[in-house]
Amino acid sequence: MERVYNFSAGPGVLPLAVLEQARDEMVVYKDSGMSVMEMSHRSKPYMAIIAQAESLLRELLAIPDNYAVLLLQGGASLQFSMLPMNLLTHPTQQSVDYILTGSWAEKAYGEAKKQCGDVRVAASSKAVNYSRIPTQAELTLNPQAAYLHITSNNTIFGTEYYYTPDSGGVPLVADISSNVLSRPMEISDYALLYAGAQKNLGPSGVTVVIVRKDLLGRRTDLPNMLDYKVHADNDSMFNTPPTYAIYILGLVLQWTKNQGGVAAMEQRNIRKAAKLYAAIDRSSYYQCPTEAISRSRMNVPFTLADPSQDATFLAEAKKAGLVTLAGHRSVGGMRASLYNAMPEEGVDALVTFMAEFERRHG
Ligand SMILES: Cc1ncc(COP(=O)(O)O)c(C=O)c1O
């Protein structure tokens, strides 16, 4: 069977070149005589793999030296809890701020409430079904907050920040799971950033945390596995790391660099998203539920004028080799995720299919 264009929100499409390289190296990696999966994480070839992955990530995101890069497990979801655990020194007496822009932001907020006595909502777009990102003027920030948490791209609702909130000196924390590496970002604006890998970074199973080193070690009572400092002190090797996922992460990062890095990715992502939004906007058959200036380049939700045709749309799209286009149940309709590894031809094929579908069914 031919490969399809996979518009999944995550785990999402990976670069074909990465999959082919992984295939070629699957049984015997370089001169090691074994698969990466079979290697001790402390072996020389593996130490080189993990060091290279971290170094590429630092280079691509221009991560300053005063930030630690941790390669952890547990997904972005574990970070919802590890974050307040590690950053708060007196959890029952401190306050934190959250901006609620979608389901993942809500989940992060919910987990924080279990760790912290006072979790405030600095802004929320719930009233408009998370169809927009609140502006700076809409934020009610607590200058005493231990941190302000944002979700830089809302995977389910298809919105993205195009400004960095001014937190007024309060440490800024971002869940960047679904737009990391899609465009340049100023790491030093943030105290901490985290991302599950399974969109622009690689396969599921590894989670990247980028944390300013002065924030490490605030608590001494945490279980080792939940303590950023323990992982930082051990170069993400406190226990067995997700070795194969980190190997693929390294290949994806090398591929990203070969494409011209995040600046080149951004240009390509702008073009891809613009093509799809233009196709939606010029038709009265398709609608996009998000506010124009908040529209995500990574996840594009859209609905059909007649929702009873959703199943037909999905079935015909699948026949055309365009898969995983069903929207999340909280939004309905369709969602096309256009991660870095989605080629422009995939977007072109989707746009052509949509026009044909409208002609036949609209
Ligand atoms: C923005 C965002 N945050 C968090 C998560 C949860 O990630 P994980 O499944 O790695 O825990 C996701 C998953 O899609 C996401 O899109």
Residue 146 has what DSSP assignment? S
Atom of ligand 1 at shortest distance to CA of 75? Answer: 10
> In the sheet that 67-72 helps form, which strands lie side by side, from edge to edge?
67-72, 207-212, 192-196, 172-175, 148-151, 95-100, 118-124
7 neighbors 211 (Cβ within 8 angstroms): no
In terms of domains, do 88 and 106 share one?
yes
In terms of domains, do 242 and 162 share one?
yes
Q: Which residue do the tokens 């309060």 mark?
A: 170
In terms of domains, do 311 and 162 share one?
no
156 neighbors 106 (Cβ within 8 angstroms): no
Distance from C-alpha of 103 to C-alpha of 107, rounded to nearest angstrom: 6
Pocket residues: Cβ below 6 A from ligand 1 = 10, 75-77, 104, 151, 155, 175, 177-178, 196
Q: How many whole angstroms from 237 Cα to the centroid of ligand 1?
A: 23
Nearest to 350 by CA among 333, 361, 334: 334
Distance from C-alpha of 102 to C-alpha of 12, rounded to nearest angstrom: 20
In terms of domains, do 340 and 265 share one?
yes
Structure tokens at 33: 């005589």
pTM of the predicted model, to two decimals?
0.98
pLDDT tens per residue across all 362 residues of the chain:
899 999 999 999 999 999 999 999 999 999 999 999 999 999 999 999 999 999 999 999 999 999 999 999 999 999 999 999 999 999 999 999 999 999 999 999 999 999 999 999 999 999 999 999 999 999 999 999 999 999 999 999 999 999 999 999 999 999 999 999 999 999 999 999 999 999 999 999 999 999 999 999 999 999 999 999 999 999 999 999 999 999 999 999 999 999 999 999 999 999 999 999 999 999 999 999 999 999 999 999 999 999 999 999 999 999 999 999 999 988 899 999 999 999 999 999 999 999 999 999 98
Q: Which domain range does residue 188 map to? A: 17-258
Q: How many whole angstroms from 273 Cα to the centroid of ligand 1?
A: 21
In terms of domains, do 118 and 222 share one?
yes
164 neighbors 144 (Cβ within 8 angstroms): no
SS3 331: coil
User: Final residue of a domain: which of 230, 258, 286?
Assistant: 258
- The answer to the question of residue 2 being in a domain is no
In terms of domains, do 232 and 276 share one?
no
Q: Write down the catalytic residue from 30, 31, 65, 175.
A: 175
- Going through the chain in order, the beta strands assigned E by DSSP cover 5-6, 67-72, 95-100, 118-124, 148-151, 153-154, 159-160, 172-175, 192-196, 207-212, 286-287, 299-304, 322-323, 334-337
SS3 77: helix
Nearest to 69 by CA among 188, 209, 259: 209
Please give the tally of structural domains in the chain: 2
In terms of domains, do 247 and 207 share one?
yes
Distance from C-alpha of 245 to C-alpha of 300, rounded to nearest angstrom: 27
User: Final residue of a domain: which of 258, 292, 310?
Assistant: 258
In terms of domains, do 250 and 267 share one?
no
In terms of domains, do 305 and 273 share one?
yes
Residue 295 has what DSSP assignment? B
